Every structure is written in structure tokens, then in C-alpha cells.
Structure 1
Amino acid sequence: MTPVQTSPRPTGQDTPLKRADARRNHERIFAAALEIFEEFGLQGTVPQVAERADVGKATVYRSYPAKEDLVDAVVRHRLAELDRVTEPALAEADPARAFEAYVRLLFETLAGDRLLSEVLAEGRSAYAGPLLDRLLGLMAQAKAAGLVRADVTLLDLRVVLCGMTLQLLALAERDPALWRRYGDMTLRALRP
């Protein structure tokens, strides 16, 4: 029986270079995915991401075995950014100002990110749940202070907030000033 030929083991110099190259590819893929999904939302494709990252589709699939894995990573990143952007609103002592600031910042963020607005408008529970819980908590504090209608429920908040988001998406409106306007309308709809 003939012995099986194996490739020589990589030298110590080859392995770090390959790892560095793989890291760079991963970073380029993720940066490209942020751009593609921000621009095209869930309609963005792995081939678009690969092209923008200047890598092959197989390279993308090595890091993210399915498109859903890539979407998940991008959404989690964008939600973490949203948390950083809205942190000052959450720290606000005045319940009305906290709720209003949060809603306005949310609309401003959604105006510039098609993927995040689509995911939240669709109410995907893994992503929308924690955000809606945060909004519900802020709204409850504002309601207790008499600054939000006493009869407003989570369903009302979802219909108004997600309904406006869905319509702005359907109309392909991306102007942040327009999104802020509808954020203000949402707040006015909830006031006593």
C-alpha cells in the first residue's frame, strides 16, 4: 500500500500571515455588509457583499455560513450602535424628555439604516423585543408622570411606531428630516 502524501505543514511564518489575511477579509466583509444592508435592507445579497468587499462568495460563506448569519451580525452591531446613540436619552431624569428623546433618536437612526428599520418594522422578536421593551419602560415612566395617554398600550406603540416605519420604507423615504417629523407625530399621538 502506498503511503498517503500530505501537504507540508505550514511554517510558523505562513500561519500568522494567513490568519492576518483572514482577519482582513473578515473585516472587509463585515464593513461591506454594513454598507450593503444599510442601503438595500433585507434585499441585499451575499454576492453584493462579496463584490463590495472584493472577495469571492466562498470567502463570505467561510465567515458567515448563511445570509441570515451575516444579517444577524449586522443587526446586532447596529443595535449596539443604537444603544450608544440613545444612551443619553436613557440617562435623562425627566421621564417625558427621556421618552421623547429616545423616540426621536430612534427615528433618526432608522432613517439612515434600511436593514434596521425593516427588521424592527417587521417586529422580528429577537431584535424588536428588547427595543420595544425599552420603549415600553420609558413610556410607562412618562405615562406615570401624566405625559403619555393613560390608555396607550404596547400594541398602540407598535402600530404607530412600526406602522410609520413600514410606510416610510414602502415609500422609499430616507430623508432624516422627514423621519424626525414622523417621530414627532408619533409622540403627539401618544400625548394626553
Structure 2
Amino acid sequence: MTNYQLVLASTSPFRQQLLNKLAVPFITATPDCDETPLAGESPTALVLRLAESKAKSCPLTQTSLVIGSDQVCVIDDEIIGKPHTRERAIEQLTRQSGKSITFYTGLALYNSQTDTIHSKLDTFTVHFRQLTQQQIENYVDKEQPFYCAGSFKSEGLGIALFERLEGKDPNTLVGLPLIDLIGMLAAEGFAVL
């Protein structure tokens, strides 16, 4: 069995926290890829392409298994990005109130020795409560989810916004499907347990 270095192709502190749950040593690297959607590209095709591109674009110094992940939030067939401002976060949450939104997360695992890549798509649906404007503003002011797709942190106070969650892996909602990742790592001979 090859002694692989595990690399997370992400600077996201949220993805790093998730990968820490597996209690395996890893390093992070900054992926070098253009994240602009292609003309006519579906949300699912976009996240799979970007996850693979991120995994393959990191500079490596040794034989590695590189994890790439990308996520989009879709409401009313439109990709919703990170809000970056209080006003945009309030606008996004107002639009999402009482509705169901879907998160598509692409996951890729690249083996630098064999030049092979595994990739998978995971879907997660969030069903929002009917929220008042005051509830939305209170939430945004308390948690400031300006760098989170959909304008919430489900691992924090954001849970109060939801009526229910639907998906196989709650980690997917935060941006790294660990159940799928464990299977991919096992296929490459990297045992988590």
C-alpha cells in the first residue's frame, strides 16, 4: 500500500473542520482553477467539474490523495451564491422563507500517483420555516453568514430557520460529504478506521 499524503484542496475553515472529524492527518492546499460557470452548464455539472478541477489543480510535493469539493445552492432553478453583505443575506433568506432549496455538492478524490479521479454528486434539501422579517434580520445580525451559500450556518443558529432537512449526510450541507469521501478513500486503500 502506498503511503499517501491526504490533501484538502480548500481554504474553507468549514471544510477543514469537517475533515477533522475523521481524525486523519491532512494538509490543505489552495486550488488554482477558474470557478466561472460555463455557458449552459447545469448546477450539477458545475459542481462536479469544479470539484475535479480543484482536486487536480493543487501543487503537490509527494504522492497524494487530493480532495476537491464544490457546492451551489439552488432556489427556483437559480444558483444562489454567498451573500457577502448583510443586505444580500437578508434578501436571500427572505426569498427562501417558506420554501425548499437544494444544495448540490460535488466531491472528487484525485490520486496523484495513478492519475485517477473518483467523483460523486450529493444532494441535500433544506425546507425553511415561514420566517418574519424580524426573525431574518435577528438571525443575520447574530450569526453574520456572509460567506455561506444560502446565507446560513446549519451547524449553528441557522438550524432555527428550518422546518426540516432532507439528505443522506448532514456534512454535505456544510460542504464536504464525509460518507461518500470515506468510501472513496477506502477504494484507494486509505482506511479511516
Which structure has the highest helix share of the two? 1
TM-score (norm 1): 0.23
Answer with 1 or 2: which has the greater Rg.
Answer: 1
TM-score (norm 2): 0.23
